[in-house]
Structure 1
Amino acid sequence: MNHIVVLVTTEYLPRQSEPGQGKYAFAYHIRIENHGTEASKLLSRHWFITDGNSRVKEVRGPGVVGETPRINPGDHYEYSSSAILETEAGTMEGSYQMITDSGEMFDADIPPFLLAVPGAIH
């Protein structure tokens, strides 16, 4: 069974944003924890990025930040990445496709999280 837990924190990047041009930059910091009894390797990612106008961008690709980490039981892997939205707020969610050392493939869900300029959500 899937015992991978995904934790996310986010931040607005004002220096990389151009609000007048409809460009809002955000960083997201991911921590993937293995609460299971078997090591699992992250093979690929699948994201749904939704902006404040309900426009959805789907992103798929191998690994994360150029890596396909193997996470041992009781261990974790952390990385940071970024996203650009055309609105002051939006959400991201998705999954990581993973495989255990014994060959069982599974999806580790990434729960929805908010990307928002401070003060944009009232």
Structure 2
Amino acid sequence: MVTAITEGIKISVETMYQEEYSNPSKDQFMFAYRIEVENLSDYTIQLKRRQWYIFDSNGTEREVEGEGVVGQQPIIEPGNSHSYVSGCQLSTEIGSMKGYYSMSRIAMDTDFIVDIPEFQLIAPYRLN
């Protein structure tokens, strides 16, 4: 698990290789990731947008951006957290992702950026 804290917001990421949804003979490697967004600040926040940078070990890079996460723009009170699971398909057995969330402090109507730490996506059999 990797974690990072930006402006009082803690992001923790755990990854899982999805063997049952992967097809190595067709260069399709599916990974799931679970992210927890923990509000350690004194302000109620809302996650508005996400920006992902996805890297395959063959040099392919992709960017994905959009509103919210898995169809939601969660509001997170101080001391609370929001977690979700999503996925990413790579064309290689090894890759990585990183990015950021655009968030808002609701009472102050101010926007800020929270870093999503880089995390590795590795098919377990590549570790041997």
Pairwise CA distance, 1:2 = 1.8
Shift of 1:55: 1.1
Number of residues paired by the alignment? 122
Where does structure 1 lack aligned partners over 5 or more consecutive residues? none
**What corresponds to 2:86 in structure 1?**
81
Q: Which amino acid aligns with 2:114?
A: A
| Seq. identity, % | 38
Question: What residue in structure 2 maps to residue 4 of structure 1?
Answer: 9
Does residue 65 (structure 1) correspond to residue 70 (structure 2)? The answer is yes
Aligned to 2:96: 91
Secondary structure at the aligned position of 2:25 is classed as helix
- The correspondence of residues 1-122 of structure 1 with structure 2, limited to 5 A, is 2-101=7-106, 102-121=108-127
> RMSD of the TM alignment (CA)?
1.1
Q: Spell out structure 1 runs of 4+ moving beyond 4 A.
A: none
TM-score (norm 2): 0.92
Opposite residue 18 of structure 2, the aligned amino acid is L
Distance, in Å, in 2 between the alignment partners of 1:2 and 1:85 is 31
Range that drifts further, 23-32 or 48-57: 48-57
